[in-house]
Structure 1
């Protein structure tokens, strides 16, 4: 098979390197399942082990972060770096300004991103990663506080840190004791614990979370007001109480809302007539030609205020088994209408 210099056999489309090995003749599904279950046990034990080792240093770390006037700068190499990115993202989304800086890039200019008002959270299981330890003298000279998250309390990183969080584990889930597995799970759990303690200390609410996630489903539910999605103006089907039955039908057909509001000249809502009401009248054999809107409407219909969240309208409709609601302003005047299709288009439901 042809080869490329310095690489393995060439693969499809010019790719190089050996093809991934498939299941060997000794593959045992039962063994795979046993290893999976053992991994769960080892990683669960690693997380539970944090409980007994997480003490007053954790409280001091939370206090130090709360006092930061700048940002929490998270660092880590390799798998710890991947965990660090997630920890920084979780902190940022729960009220603690944070960012991730890659240690290797920091030594080539990115260290300028760290200011004296910041705090560094360095993550390393061994505490001896060169890319991290080489930055410690500069960080300390800059007067930046340093929190170490490490599994080695005697490491270079731990000795330079102002606060040390013990993320050590008894063993990795990797059978070879090489790949970071249980140790990265412990780091992730400890980072989540910091974020949870911080958001509680800051009085962080679901509305605050939504503001940092405006594009997500939670953001839409917690930030979208009914006034943002309801029909207004000419799109609201409405007639006066003296309107004829045919005028009422034309208004319902014009808007396709499946109902029409009956309101007086001042906008005061008097009642509602729905397509369900129409079916019931037809089933009773009523003579519809001489009826007025006032004669067929349901008086004092259920309404909702325009200043509530759109999700509240969805919840009310669900509770009452309705597909539409009329919307009123603070003075009780008709100002809008909304149905389940409107809420679905807005991705509120």
Structure 2
């Protein structure tokens, strides 16, 4: 709780906020010293040296209050706080203002990492802000090489986590904590024998690519499988995922009434994608692939004291 902003002040008011021994001296309470943190704007009137007065302490606070606005990519919160002037000792209140976005571009990295030492505690307030994990990439469709040999597709990628915690923290979520959507799987490939004018040959159809999972900017789509340049009918690529929709799966290659498997669509926030599809009108020659898992909203939930849950999409682990 901050010191009052008007009226008479005493050493007791200052000592109750910042600590310290008795008898007290104002010289022990310079900003940036061992007792008074340098970072909070409430403390800007307290000098770092020289003349110091009781009135310099109006509204001062031991808590390091800092506000985040704008857009951030893969934030290590402790590093960011130190860069903002935190003395690595004072209690911390990190406030993410409305409209602030913290996102990740990698499923291996959380958008917001809260770890390391906070000796006197930390509270995080997500007030109309969004913490969003990375969307998983779409899987590639199955197909054939130039000689008609089977070429396997690839599975959809998993979504990334929104928040990873490795230290005790209180979180008041009045916004959105979103695990990335999983990528869709690639479609199966097929081929059929054709006889025309006593000539026998094989027609190849490749599977469609999977769609990317939901991502704050854009997740990668899966490509269709390949086919021989002659007698080949390629499927379509999957679609990008973004913050409005997951990517759609590409259709499988089509010949007459036979279609290769379509790619699966990407997953919504924190949800798995859809597995790739099987052919229609024929059986799979090169199998479909599975979708990626949805990203976790929270990793390290055992470290968190929740003041308010808000919107959390994805596993809480």
Category of TM-score, reference length = shorter chain: under 0.3
By percentage of residues, which structure has more strand? 2
> Which of the two has higher C-alpha Rg?
1
TM-score, with structure 2 as normaliser? 0.26
TM-score, with structure 1 as normaliser? 0.24
By percentage of residues, which structure has more helix? 1
Structure scoring higher RCO (CA < 8 A, sep ≥ 6) equals 2
